[in-house]
Amino acid sequence: MVHLESGAATDVGHVREVNEDACLAADPVFVVADGMGGHQGGEVASSIVVEEFARLGEERYDVRRGAAAVSGALAECQRRIQAYTAEQRASGAREWRTGTTVVAALLCDDAGPGEERWLVANLGDSRAYRLEDDRLAQLTVDHSLVQELVTAGEIDEGEARRHPARHVVTRALGGEAFSAGPDLFELPLGPGRLVLCSDGVSGMLSHAEMARIVGAADRARDAAAGLVEAALAAGGEDNASAVVVDVVG
Ligand code: MN
């Protein structure tokens, strides 16, 4: 069985009043969720994601069962967030909208040595990266308006980080935006460091800055803390969260 070392860091930042991000680092499941919504709504949505994914950590999975477990957890999150929204609307908050992004990685290692896989699920603009040979590769593609502009070649990554519509996500857990479903993919565990983060990290730092911080840290928890510290130093305009996982054996 492979052994993982991980760390998580999250901070409200310098501008927002509430930290609506939530993180989970509980081998074999790792999650960053970035909640959206007025008052306490976003915080509720992201904490539902952490609760539901924490339940997955009670067993080991092969890829097929892992994919079913992740899809089931996402469906249960969607059901609970919609029930919460309906409750708020019934008690008078008619325009209540609550949602959250989710990026999750589940270690699937039940098929034997050498067959271990990361199963990664993504909805929204929180991201998964992997550091291999000092090169940081982005694994997920954002479900966001600015990503569509980047893909179309209309703006570049730097412009995307400063774009007025940079917070608009096109898929999320919560409302109708869930209907398109998550991106779900598997990759060999391999060597290398896995990074999950909210847009409060990836939106404040360039790709090169992130690669330098993740590559320079000795331990996973130092890498997670370093990313969040750097996001705060760069302005801390949003809640900032990072989860980092090393495969050590
Ligand atoms: Mn955010």
Tokens of 121: 């699920």
pLDDT digits (tens, 9 = 90+) for 34-48: 999 866 799 999 999
pLDDT digits (tens, 9 = 90+) for 82-130: 999 999 999 988 888 899 999 999 999 877 777 899 999 999 999 999 9
In the reported structure, the alpha carbon of residue 5 is separated from the centroid of ligand 1 by a whole-number distance in angstroms of: 25
Q: Are 16 and 239 in contact (CB under 8 A)?
A: yes
In the reported structure, the alpha carbon of residue 14 is separated from the centroid of ligand 1 by a whole-number distance in angstroms of: 13
Q: Are 6 and 194 in contact (CB under 8 A)?
A: no
217 bridge partner residues: none
Single pTM value for the model:
0.96
In the reported structure, the alpha carbon of residue 127 is separated from the centroid of ligand 1 by a whole-number distance in angstroms of: 11
In the reported structure, the alpha carbon of residue 245 is separated from the centroid of ligand 1 by a whole-number distance in angstroms of: 21
In the reported structure, the alpha carbon of residue 199 is separated from the centroid of ligand 1 by a whole-number distance in angstroms of: 5
Distance of CA 133 to the CA centre of its chain: 23
In the reported structure, the alpha carbon of residue 39 is separated from the centroid of ligand 1 by a whole-number distance in angstroms of: 15
In the reported structure, the alpha carbon of residue 210 is separated from the centroid of ligand 1 by a whole-number distance in angstroms of: 17
